[in-house]
Amino acid sequence: MPANNQEKVIWFVGAGPGDPELITVKGKALLDKADVLLYAGSLVNPALVTASPAMEKVDSWGMKLDDMVALMADRVGMGKKVVRLHSGDPALYGSIVEQIAGLKKMDIAVRIVPGVSSVFAAAAALTTEYTPRGVSDTLIITRPAGKTLEKDYIAELSQIPATMAFFLGSEHFFEITEKLACPKDTPAAVIFHASWPDQKIITGTVGDIAQKAQAAGIHRSALLIVGKAVRGIDSGYQRSHLYS
């Protein structure tokens, strides 16, 4: 598993959005060889954790950064194969750079195996693409202000014609939609637990999606997608040159 015999390496693996079959082949192979598994419990499917033969499995939910880094450093120092399992793709809201920095201080390298982000599982759930020709050339991935973010740029970002995907916003759908500069009849959707068996898709407009999500009882683990692309084949797209 290490890149060479001398180097101490921790593998950061994207678990995918929920469906355990949406982890990469490489990620699954690493899980199958892991001795120690530190996983993001709230959004990683327990089936992936159960299937790993790792002798030590630790849920990182509620753990302090220093404790996570210390645990990984200690176990890799003992010669164990350590996998850090993140939900979706580790590059989106994974707080990985501070883990990498902590490990680097101890001369421990990190290798990253990408995963399928929930933002792409949400597009799959909606049977659409985020960039239909003539509808949107841009995907904005962002999050609302909240406990851990002082200021967001939702009002500014929503002035350009783009598809917007909001992470970490399930408790803030009303605030987000109030800040949006696009017209109230702009299509919008909330996808709860994309790719999980209890996936829910709520569709509406910027004007009513927050109310609809609240009525459906969605307060966590969801993405808000805004823009005509939400409507897929009914988005008003033009045929792509690619297939002309």
Residues that bind ligand SAM (CB under 6 A): 17-18, 43, 86-89, 92-94, 117-118, 121, 167-168, 170, 191, 193-196, 221-223
Nearer to ligand SAM, 131 or 142 (CB): 142
Residue nearest ligand SAM by beta-carbon distance: 88
Tell the smallest beta-carbon distance from residue 176 to ligand SAM (Å): 11
Reading the block at residue 126, the tokens are: 């909606």
Nearer to ligand SAM, 94 or 187 (CB): 94
**Least distance in angstroms from the C-beta of 45 to ligand SAM:** 9
Shortest distance (Å) from residue 178 CB to ligand SAM: 19
144 vs 187, beta carbon nearer ligand SAM: 144
Please give the DSSP secondary-structure letter assigned to residue 139: E
Indicate the length of the chain as a whole number. 244
CA distance 68 to 95: 12
| Rounded to 5°, angle at Cα 215 from 209 and 217 | 105
Q: 3-state class of 10 per DSSP?
A: strand
- Cβ atoms of 2 and 17 within 8 Å: the answer is no
Nearer to ligand SAM, 100 or 222 (CB): 222
Q: At closest approach, how far in Å is the CB of 40 from ligand SAM?
A: 8
Do residues 190 and 219 lie in contact, with contact meaning Cβ atoms separated by under 8 Å? Answer: no
The one-letter amino acid at 227:
G
As a whole number of angstroms, the distance between CA 107 and CA 189 comes to 44
To ligand SAM, the closest distance from the beta carbon of 52 in angstroms equals 19
